[in-house]
């Protein structure tokens, strides 16, 4: 296994992110063992931060660590993605209703600015920026309620999904309706219609999940054919 990149000795987050990206990219296939000796060579870093990064990725669900057998790559399948999006759906639908109860003009203006930037990224087909601005839209909804713990959970999930979105993007059909769906959510928030805002947001999340699952499965099928 050749060298991949040099990671700073104390930059645990960068190392964890690099291993996660390589898992999503298929460099480490599902079910493959992650040997510490191979990883130290690949990332040009000592064993201790490698073990720490693997523990973090185990907590995220990307890696399984088995007694006396070490670490292996977990299958990123429909079940795994459904679990992540189920949490998102529950958390975000609750907080969008809370925002609708006390929304300000500044909140609405901020959401609309983000949607405009998101639309521009979609037109450029910049998958990484599209995902980052989608996160910013959803982050603003929860951030307006000032619940830092909820934001922390969602930020971790968005970071986990980002490599998949960078690799697989979105279908053309999904890309065409994203801005309209965001606009409809904003309109419901502005009208202080919490139940409608929550219903639209849940539908939006469900559609994004199904689109991602289809793309991931198609990509895996193409890789083995």
> Can you list the domains of the chain with their CATH numbers?
12-73 (1.10.10.10), 78-224 (1.20.120.530)
Measure the CA–CA gap between 4 and 7, rounded to whole angstroms: 9
Tokens representing residue 131 in the block: 């995902």
Q: Are 99 and 147 in contact (CB under 8 A)?
A: no
**Most trustworthy range by pLDDT among 121-130, 134-143, 156-165, 167-176:** 134-143
User: What pLDDT does residue 225 have?
Assistant: 58
User: What pLDDT does residue 59 have?
Assistant: 83
User: What pLDDT does residue 169 have?
Assistant: 86
The full DSSP string for the chain is --------TT-HHHHHHHHHHHHHTTSS-TT-EE-HHHHHHHHT--HHHHHHHHHHHHHHTSEEEETTTEEEEPP--HHHHHHHHHHHHHHHHHHHHHHHHH--HHHHHHHHHHHHHHHHHHHHT-HHHHHHHHHHHHHHHHHTTT-HHHHHHHHHHHHHHHHHHHHH---HHHHHHHHHHHHHHHHHHHTT-HHHHHHHHHHHHHHHHHHHHHHHHHHHHHHH-
Q: Is the pLDDT of residue 2 over 60?
A: no
Mean of per-residue pLDDT scores for the chain: 89
Condensed to tens digits (0 to 9), the pLDDT of residues 37-94 reads 999 999 999 999 999 999 989 988 789 998 888 899 987 788 889 999 999 999 999 9
Q: Is the pLDDT of residue 9 over 50?
A: no
pTM exceeds 0.85 for this model: no
Q: Are 127 and 169 in contact (CB under 8 A)?
A: yes
Condensed to tens digits (0 to 9), the pLDDT of residues 146-198 reads 899 999 989 888 888 888 888 888 899 999 999 999 999 999 999 999 999 99
Measure the CA–CA gap between 203 and 184, rounded to whole angstroms: 11
Question: Sorting pLDDT into bands at 50, 70 and 90, what band is 129?
Answer: very high
């Amino acid at each position: 296994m050749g060298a991949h990149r040099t990671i700073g000795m104390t930059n645990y987050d960068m190392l964890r992110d690099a291993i996660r990206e390589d898992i999503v990219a298929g460099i480490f296939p599902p079910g493959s063992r992650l040997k510490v000796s191979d990883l130290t060579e690949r990332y040009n870093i000592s064993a201790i931060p490698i073990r720490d990064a693997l523990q973090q990725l185990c907590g995220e669900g990307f890696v399984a660590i088995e007694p006396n057998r070490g670490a292996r790559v977990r299958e990123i399948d429909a079940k795994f993605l459904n679990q992540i999006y189920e949490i998102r759906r529950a958390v975000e639908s609750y907080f969008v209703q809370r925002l609708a109860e006390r929304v300000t003009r500044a909140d609405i203006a901020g959401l609309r600015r983000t949607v405009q930037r998101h639309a521009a990224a979609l037109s450029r087909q910049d998958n990484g920026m599209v995902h980052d601005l989608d996160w910013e839209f959803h982050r603003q909804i929860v951030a307006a309620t000032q619940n830092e713990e909820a934001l922390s959970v969602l930020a971790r999930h968005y970071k986990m999904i980002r490599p998949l979105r960078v690799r697989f993007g979105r279908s053309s059909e999904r890309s065409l309706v994203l801005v309209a769906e965001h606009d409809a959510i904003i309109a419901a928030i502005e009208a202080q219609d919490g139940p409608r805002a929550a219903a639209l947001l849940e539908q939006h999340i469900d559609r994004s999940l199904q689109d991602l699952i289809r793309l991931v499965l198609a990509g895996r099928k193409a890789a083995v054919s």
